[in-house]
Structure 1
Amino acid sequence: MRWSSLFASQAAVSSALIATTLFTLSASAQDRTTEQGEAQITDPNQECTPYSYAPVTAALAANQFPPIWTIATILPNDTNAQAKYQSIQSQIPNIQPNGSPASTSTGDFSGFSYPSSDPDCWWTFDQCTTPKLAGLPPDLAGVPEPNTLGYGFDDGPNCSHNAFYDFLSQNNQKATMFYIGSNVMDWPFEAQRALADGHEICVHTWSHKYTTTLTNDEVFAEFYYSTLSMEAIKLVVGVTPTCWRPPYGDVDDRVRAIAHALGLRTIIWQYDSNDWREGFNNVTAADVDQNYEYLIARAQNGTYATAGTIMLTHELNNFTMSEAMKFYTQLKAAFKYLVPMGVATNQTQPYVETNYSLPSFDQYISGTTTVTGAVPAATAGSSSSTGSGSSSGKTHSTGAASRALFDGLGILAAGAAFIGFSVKLLA
């Protein structure tokens, strides 16, 4: 849900609250009109104060997108989406959605009858990653390079991620960021920062639902309005990703076929940090620590001597980002290489656009962690420029010493921005 929509009926209260917050946060005004200015903000409360970005405001006003944080459907006036959907329908297998409508949020498939033979390669059923439908490539669950961790984070862009992204920049560490379309619309400059810092951006759908429970046109719309044409990621960041990760890992051959028809590679994982579960169902911070430590121990005992792996981690909240920073040094020591998914698989052309490239695996491990490209069109200009070159040599002066750790009380206040949907984002 977008804050402007949430408070639409309480404009006066909202304006007063925002004005008071901004006044008390800082005596000097912060630049909320560019990606660079947004990246300088050191207070997570202010990071999570809503702001306006003209292209998003205009697109929403023109009804060019489904409502934020709702299951996407093809808009009745969107002839381009309708034509694209018609063009791929012949590639979609006759597989019915799984479960009931309630499963879209809860993942409760207890009343759903499904053959034990797993005919549709349903990951939620038995973690199947090799499609049974001819013509579909296997999911990327591990990486081919030995002693390598495919490094990435789900559920971004998080509004208070500056300290985390600063940490990655200070370590010259790039990652794959799986962005939710609705989050991109809510926090566009935060999304732009990922590209500016040299990270790889992949799709995590529009509203973060169990995709196998959706109808064909809903699955299509969850992809389409996240990335294709001039949709969310393209509109805001200027690039069209070619990779995606299913929320909760919930994917089958029907969903894979739709993703494949739209040019999206499916990326899963082999290990779950369970950082997203902390505080729910009796999962504690110590439990998450043990999951990290288990992966580290396996790396140390030679488990990945012939091929690397992927662990599920998140940009979801203060805890998940803090855990990533806490265990970064140990992961670096246990694995020879920590690299984005595209780098690990030599996907040097990560986007449909040809003006931006990732380094190959050999280039990355030799020290070339970014490859200079042209500034994407959506981020060029005075309102959101990322500077000359896409990411090479780009740094943010951020006061690292004061931002190495999150302010616990501050982040709790910032987390209020996510009440109403953060509980939904469980993977």
Structure 2
Amino acid sequence: MILSHQLFLVVACFVQACFSLMTPSDFERINGMLAPEAYSSTSVPFPAWLAQLANRTDWPAAKPPFIQTPGLDINSGIPSNPLHSLRLDQDMACFSQCSFDCNNCLGPNDIAACPQLLQTFDDGPTAATPALLDYLRQKRQLTSFFIIGTQVLSFPDTLRAERRAGHFIGSHTWTHPYLPSLSNQDIAAELQWTTWVINVTAGVVPRYFRPPYGGLDDRVRAIAERMGLTPIVWAHDTNDWQMVGGTRTENQTLADVQSWINASSTGIMLEHDQAPITVNTGMKIRDMVGAQMYVAPACKSLTAPWYN
């Protein structure tokens, strides 16, 4: 686990009650109208307990350092899968193991299936996220956000608004690297700093994470498990991020969604709240698939806690 017993007692006072399914009345009770200033960017404090633990007084700007915490062992018993790159045409090592991005292999605890087509959003918070939050508020709709740690430093109040509205918050690493290419220590660092910034900013300790690019193998799983994190991946990739660079159109994205609706209407979808174009398309996708009765962890168990 990331947190020692003593450190857990410090952060536990920030952790609010977990939610599973919520009724419209529950949603209205905790949400309310969010004024524009609720999304303004303010600084994220660096608490004294973290300064003592990490022996520093500021958040990492880029690559985070690994901080050894009591009881955390990321070496013994961890699979010795070789490091491999995202360039599969040059390095095929990942095909020798249960790798999600290489061969769609799912571990026993990985979450990808869902009883309905379910939206999930990666790479926020961003300047585009408040528009999505306002739309979801109008629809009385909860969704799932997978958070990049460094983005929280730029948009902390947007993360707080997500939490205030009752949305599910999961980890998406500190800098969005391809985890199988990193050392054990660097994988752990990406996860631990994201947990800490989410806790300090939103008052929860994430229990689930999404590996960038779907970079998930048995070594990454084992390290994440020791840090109290369960993987959530996807069954359908909208590739909506390609619209930002103009290599994919909105009509192509919506056509894919319609084909999934026609085929089975089940499974977790990968989307992004990284830009206005992906957010606007995400709103249209929600109108296509209708009301979402789940958040990502509930796809496996309605009683599963969202946070540690």
Determine if the TM-score, normalized by the shorter chain, exceeds 0.5: yes
CA distance in 2, matches of 1:52, 1:337: 33
Once the two structures are superposed, what CA deviation does each residue of 1:45-70 show, in whole Å capped at 9, x if it has no partner? x96x753344489979x7356523x2
- CA contact under 8 A between 2:150 and 2:174: conserved in structure 1? yes
**Structure 2 residue 271 is matched with structure 1 residue 278:** no
Does 2:58 match 1:72?
no
Distance 1:57 1:157 in 2: 25
Q: Contact 1:153/1:178 (CA < 8 Å) preserved in 2?
A: yes
Instruction: Kindly indicate whether the alpha-carbon contact (under 8 Å) linking 2:238 and 2:269 is maintained by their aligned counterparts in 1.
Output: yes
Distance change (3 Å), C-alpha of 1:295 and 1:113 = closer
Output the aligned Cα RMSD: 2.8
Closer, same or farther: CA 149–247 of 1 in aligned 2, 3 Å: same
* CA–CA distance in structure 2, aligned partners of residues 186 and 337 of structure 1: 29
Q: Determine helix, strand or coil for the equivalent of 1:296.
A: helix
Kept in 2: contact 1:243–1:265 (CA 8 A): yes
CA contact (8 A) 1:154 1:316 kept: yes
Higher relative contact order (Cα pairs below 8 Å, separated by 6+ residues) = 2
Number of residue pairs aligned between Structure 1 and Structure 2: 274
Identity %: 27
Aligned to 1:138: 109
Residues 185 and 236 of structure 1 are in contact (CA less than 8 Å); yes or no, is this contact kept in structure 2? no
Distance 2:141 2:289 in 1: 12
- What is the deviation of 1:172? 1.1
Match of 1:169 among 137, 145, 152: 137
Residue 80 of structure 2 corresponds to 94
Counterpart of 1:325? Answer: 283
Superimposed CA distance per residue, residues 122-173 of structure 1 (whole angstroms, 9 cap, x where no aligned partner): 122111113xxxxxx3311112x3xx22332111112332221011111111
What residue number does 2:163 align with? Answer: 195
Residue of structure 1 in register with 2:87 after alignment: 108
One-letter identity of the residue aligned with 1:83: P
SS in 2 for 1:339: coil
TM-score (norm 1): 0.59
Unaligned runs of 5+ in 1: 1-35, 100-106, 131-136, 353-427
- CA distance in 2 between counterparts of 1:90 and 1:331 reads 45
TM-score, normalising length: structure 2: 0.80
CA separation of 1:319/1:338 partners in 2, compared to 1, >3 Å: closer, same or farther? Answer: farther
Q: Secondary structure at the match of 1:351?
A: coil
Of structures 1 and 2, the larger Rg is shown by: 1
The answer as to whether partners of 2:83 and 2:180 remain within 8 angstroms in 1 is yes
Task: Work out whether residues 65 and 225 of structure 1, in 8 Å CA contact, stay in contact via their aligned partners in 2.
Answer: no
Aligned-partner SS, 1:83: coil
Q: 1:121 to 1:190 in 2, by over 3 A?
A: same
Distance across 2 between alignment mates of 1:128 and 1:164: 32
Q: What is residue 25 of structure 2 aligned with on the other side?
A: none
